[in-house]
Amino acid sequence: MRYFTIQPPAELKPFVRFYWVLEHELGPDEPSYTYRSVADGCTELVFHYQSSFNELTDKSGQNAGPSGIQFQTTQYRRFITTQSFGIFGAYIYPFAVPYFFNVASSETSNQAFDFDTFLNQAGRELEEQIMLAPDNLKRAETLSTFLIARLRQNTFKDERIITAIRHVIHGKHRLPVIQLADTYSLSARQFDRKFKQYAGFSPKTYMRLVRLQEALKQYNSPKTLTQIALECGYYDQSHFIHDVKAFTGYHPGYYFSGKAEGTEFREI
């Protein structure tokens, strides 16, 4: 399996965390590959340029899992393919959604759309350009051109709340919501409303998602699960177990064991 990231151009760095590529050649003893996406506070634009995945669901078996946009989500999903694959994606901050698509993040949470449905002709043309690109550097260049054009067209801006969301994502110290609101000169009610508009979820829920992602970054760490839980801000082991199970579908002991679906790229 091959996984790597590509940095966006300077104009997009405040909005795009990175581009990523995941490629894998199925061997003769590997009839299929199952990938599990976990809950995440960021949005992803995903392009399957080699083969495609079907989504596995409890109710109806398999549904088509085309290229598209997976917005910030509290849910995990499972996908399967029987072919070697190549995927190009963009990992973007939730507050980039209003900038790029002129819609509040709160209106897109826990939703996923193919590019045609969400962006109409512009989405169809973008997907075709990405598919026809000769390599992933050209795909990154093509998507950057598209996103920069949309960034310059839209005027959805609230710098204070964007700075607050960045603080939650990247800050070393977790502040209570009341203290965050005070830091950015907003009442608790204003802060909650504006935060949800740009992050997609309430501050409390979003902090849970950020805390989860911080824990999952410790995938190859020699630390114990108890150490990981405490360092990532979980009050106790039971809260850690509850969130990992809710957001990944696995008990943390199994997720961090190396046996869970869709964790192979974390080992690279």
Do the domains at 2-153 and 159-267 have one common CATH topology?
no
CATH of 2-153, one of 3.40.640.10, 3.40.50.2300, 2.60.120.10, 1.10.287.3510: 2.60.120.10
Strand intervals (E) in the chain: 2-6, 16-24, 33-37, 43-50, 53-57, 61-65, 68-70, 77-81, 85-92, 112-114
Nearest CA to 140 out of 71, 91, 83 is that of: 91
Identify the band that residue 106 occupies on the pLDDT scale cut at 50, 70 and 90: very high
User: Rounded to two decimals, what is the model's pTM?
Assistant: 0.92
Superfamily (CATH H level) for 159-267: Homeodomain-like (1.10.10.60)
Domains in the chain: boundaries: 2-153, 159-267
CB 115 within 8 A of CB 127: yes
In this predicted structure, the answer to whether residue 172 has a pLDDT above a threshold of 70 is yes
| Tens digit of each residue's pLDDT (9 = 90 or more) over 45-100 | 999 999 989 998 865 444 445 699 999 999 999 999 999 999 999 999 999 999 99
Cα–Cα distance between 226 and 252 in angstroms, integer?
A: 10
The whole-number pLDDT of residue 156 equals 62
